[in-house]
């Protein structure tokens, strides 16, 4: 057997790992998918796993495959990266598809680990090298810090939206249709101060009205706290992003991309070395359309997969560029696609693809400058 995708050869050993909170399961197999060994281990005996890997063969022939881990596999990934083992991430959807298409749809840690390894054998090009294997320590450290802040910020923004929707309904019940009159916005500082002061007054109102007033006051308190925490996290994000050349380059060179959006892009990409070309990057971001052809028919469809956080960040930039105060070049390109007969939504997707290519090139240039300095 010569090679598979130019990466897997006849001496390769693929080790699929199913990661959980307290225990992990690893299954080793050769390039033909034949099982070579199995090990159950925990975070308390990671050295046992490293030693077991050493018994399977040369480190150059090993590929350790994991699903894209977040919290539970962080200790394992750190240990393996420090030990110099090549790591590759497998999208969870690929293993789930393999299970659904199997004649036996059984699910267990052992079978999941085996499926993860088989994805490497059959769909190597659809996986990505783990950032821990190719990024330097500084890139990983900055990206991890930004990702932690961004996750918390997204949760708070969702909570803020829920609170505002609830307050709209409750304020309407208490004040009627005109509760927003006299204020620039329903939740402007002056409006919140007025509601809080007015609702805390001692009034001879019904018990239901009193309970409603107290409920509104509590939600206003939570909304104020959430907004303050979002501001604090945003300042911390800007501080963390200021130490990253990638974040500064994207924020300064691409119109409509603020520091938070730039941080979101870099935290998902980590290092552009993970992608061989801009087409691979666009596919990872879910920006490149999926093709379906048969005979003379050839159609393109929106890609619902890919990294949706990265996709959303690029979508935010695209919307900003075609806004009234947006980027003139982005507007011209967007209008050109519309005039060609494309729908506004598809024209926006075309603009996103152009932005994706520009982000890739910007990060590539920064990476090249860093390599020259080294």
Determine, yes or no, domain membership for 107.
yes
Specify whether 200 is located in the same domain as 232: yes
pLDDT at residue 129 is higher than 60 = yes
Q: Looking at the structure, do residues 226 and 288 belong to the same domain, yes or no? A: no
3 falls within a domain: no
**pLDDT of 202:** 59
Same domain, 50 and 103: yes
**What's residue 371's pLDDT?**
58
pLDDT of residue 372: 52
207 inside domain: yes
Mean pLDDT in residue range 100-115 = 88
Question: What pLDDT is attached to residue 358?
Answer: 96
Q: Confidence class of residue 297 from pLDDT cuts 50, 70 and 90?
A: confident
Do residues 1 and 10 lie in contact, with contact meaning Cβ atoms separated by under 8 Å? yes
Give start and end residues of each alpha helix (H) in 200-307.
207-241, 245-253, 259-269, 278-284
The pLDDT-based confidence of 1 (bands split at 50, 70, 90) is very low
Q: Is residue 4 part of a domain?
A: no
> Does residue 130 sit in the same domain as residue 18?
yes
User: Does a structural domain hold residue 260?
Assistant: no
Q: What is the pLDDT of residue 205?
A: 66
Residues found in the chain: 374
**How far from 129 is each of 11, 156, 271, 352, CA to CA, in Å?**
20, 31, 11, 25
Q: Is residue 122 part of a domain?
A: yes
In a domain, 257, yes or no: no
Q: What is the CATH number of the domain that holds 47?
A: 3.30.420.40
Q: By the 8 A CB rule, do 84 and 59 touch?
A: yes
152 and 123 in a common domain = no
Identify whether residues 153 and 233 lie together within a single domain.
yes
Query: What digits encode the pLDDT tens for the residues 176-235?
Result: 999 998 898 999 999 999 999 999 885 656 778 889 999 999 999 999 999 999 999 999
Provide CB contacts within 8 A for 214, sequence distance 6+.
199
128 and 35 within one domain: yes
Q: Looking at the structure, do residues 145 and 127 belong to the same domain, yes or no?
A: no
Q: Are residues 112 and 180 in the same domain?
A: no
Domain end marker among 134, 158, 186: 134
Least confident span in 29-43, 138-152, 197-211, 252-266: 197-211
State the DSSP H helix or E strand holding residue 29, giving kind and residue range, or none if neither.
strand 24-30
DSSP for 183-228 reads SSSTT-HHHHHHHHHHHTS-----HHHHHHHHHHHHHHHHHHHHHH
Sorted by sequence, the CB contacts under 8 Å of residue 201 that are 6+ apart come out as: none
**Collapsing DSSP states into helix, strand and coil, what is residue 64?**
strand
Query: Measured at the alpha carbon of residue 259, what is the angle toward residues 255 and 264, in degrees to the nearest 5?
Result: 100
* Mean pLDDT score, 155-184: 94
Local confidence band at 295 (pLDDT 50, 70, 90 cut-offs): confident
Lowest mean pLDDT among 21-35, 259-273, 297-311: 297-311
Verify that 148 and 58 share a domain, yes or no: no
119 and 55 assigned to the same domain: yes
Whole domain around residue 196: which residue ranges?
140-241
**H-run or E-run covering 299:** strand 297-301
Number of domains in the chain: 3
Task: Inform me whether the pLDDT recorded for 69 exceeds 90.
Answer: no
Same domain, 110 and 153: no
- Domain termination site, one of 108, 134, 160: 134
pLDDT at 291 over 50: yes
Task: Please indicate, yes or no, if residue 254 is contained in any of the structural domains.
Answer: no
Residue that terminates a domain, selected from 200, 226, 241:
241
């Amino acid at each position: 057997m010569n090679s598979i995708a130019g990466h897997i050869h006849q001496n390769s050993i693929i080790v699929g790992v199913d990661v959980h909170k307290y225990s992990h399961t690893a299954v080793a197999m050769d390039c033909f998918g034949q099982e070579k060994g199995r090990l159950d281990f925990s975070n308390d005996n990671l050295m046992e796993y490293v030693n077991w890997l050493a018994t399977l063969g040369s480190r150059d022939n090993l590929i350790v495959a994991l699903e894209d881990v977040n919290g539970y596999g962080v200790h394992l990934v750190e240990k393996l990266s420090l030990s110099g083992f090549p790591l590759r991430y497998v999208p969870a959807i690929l293993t789930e598809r393999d299970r659904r298409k199997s004649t036996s749809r059984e699910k267990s840690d052992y079978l999941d680990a085996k499926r993860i390894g088989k994805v490497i054998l059959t769909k190597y090009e659809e996986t990505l090298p783990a950032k821990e294997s190719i990024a330097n320590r500084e890139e990983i450290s900055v990206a991890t810090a930004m990702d932690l802040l961004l996750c918390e910020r997204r949760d708070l923004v969702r909570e803020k939206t829920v609170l505002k929707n609830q307050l709209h309904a409750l304020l309407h019940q208490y004040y009627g249709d005109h509760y927003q009159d006299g204020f620039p916005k329903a939740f402007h500082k002056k409006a919140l101060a007025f509601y809080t002061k007015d609702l805390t007054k001692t009034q001879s109102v019904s018990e239901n009205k009193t309970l409603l007033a107290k409920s509104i006051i509590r939600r206003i308190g939570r909304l104020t706290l959430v907004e303050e925490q979002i501001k604090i996290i945003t300042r911390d994000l800007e501080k963390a992003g200021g130490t990253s050349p990638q974040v500064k380059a994207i924020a300064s060179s691409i119109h409509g991309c603020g520091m938070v959006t730039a941080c979101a892009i870099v935290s998902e990409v980590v290092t552009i070395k993970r992608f061989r070309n801009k087409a691979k990057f666009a596919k990872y971001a879910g920006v490149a359309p999926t093709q379906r052809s048969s005979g003379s028919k050839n159609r393109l469809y929106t890609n619902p997969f890919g990294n949706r956080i990265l996709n959303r960040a690029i979508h935010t930039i695209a919307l900003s560029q075609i806004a009234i105060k947006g980027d003139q070049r982005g507007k011209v390109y967007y209008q050109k696609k519309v005039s060609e007969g494309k729908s506004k939504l598809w024209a926006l997707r075309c603009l996103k693809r152009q932005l994706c290519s520009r982000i890739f090139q910007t990060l590539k240039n920064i990476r090249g400058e860093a390599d020259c300095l080294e």
